[in-house]
Amino acid sequence: MTRYEKGALAAVVLMLVAAGFIFLYAPTDALQGPVQRIFYLHVSSAIAAYGCFAVVLIGGVAYLWKENVAADRLARAGALVGLVFTTVTLVMGMIWAKPIWGTYWTWDARLTSTLVLWIIYAGYLMIRRLADPGRQAARFAAVVGIFGFIDVPVVHFSVTWWRTVHPGPVVINDALPPQMLIAFFVTMACTLFLAAVMIGIRYRIEVLTDQAAERVVPATIVAPTEAGSAR
């Protein structure tokens, strides 16, 4: 079993542990009922997305500074995993919103800024997919990733900067009873571990993809020469 397989297995086990805390340990909310349990993974996924986009930021800065290929690969991996967790955040938020707000979506500051964050990093990945591989594409994507991170604090502080229908920061305001707080921190730790494992696996895929591309380029150059010598 490779280290990636071990990491993936550990992540699955930890997420099952988190599920146990969410459904078996944490009490049911008196006001919202069972749907409140979405909170634990919803918020943890958002925090994991922040961490992934911080990886994109660091990788982008490192690439522009040193043109380090490993930093660029790390940024690519972080962007994809961050987009996955942002998607989970949005979807779970919509599932929670329907019974609580009576609608899946409203153009609230928190929801809108999170959607903008998703669009920014979806655009980052689109650039990497459509642009010709090389230094120019990597530099342009790094700039997008760096400036895109500006939206992360906007998303995080939107509920305090503007009047929104989205709930405020219940953790730092001591609005959760001890059991709920423990369930949240356990879920957050497990989700962050899962995000780290996913970035590690995706980074390895990026390495293999780059190596495959490097082998293809010499082959296309050598082939015409060999054909000419054969004639």
Summarize pLDDT for 2-23 with one digit per residue, the tens. Answer: 888 999 999 999 999 999 999 9
82, two tokens: 């961050």
pTM of the model: 0.89
**What is the rounded CA–CA span in Å between residue 25 and residue 19?**
9
Taken in order of first residue, the domains within the chain and their CATH numbers are 3-230 (1.20.120)
Higher pLDDT, residue 210 or 78: 78
Quick check: 174 pLDDT over 70? no
Length of the chain: 231
Quick check: 230 pLDDT over 50? no
| Residue (of 93, 83, 77) closest to 207 by Cα position | 77
Q: Lowest-confidence range among 8-12, 69-73, 160-164?
A: 160-164
Please report which residue ranges of the chain form alpha helices under DSSP H: 3-20, 38-66, 69-101, 109-130, 135-148, 151-161, 178-230
- Using an 8 Å Cβ cutoff, are 45 and 191 in contact? yes
Q: What is the mean pLDDT of residues 199-218?
A: 84
How many other C-beta atoms can be found within 10 angstroms of the C-beta atom of residue 19?
Answer: 15
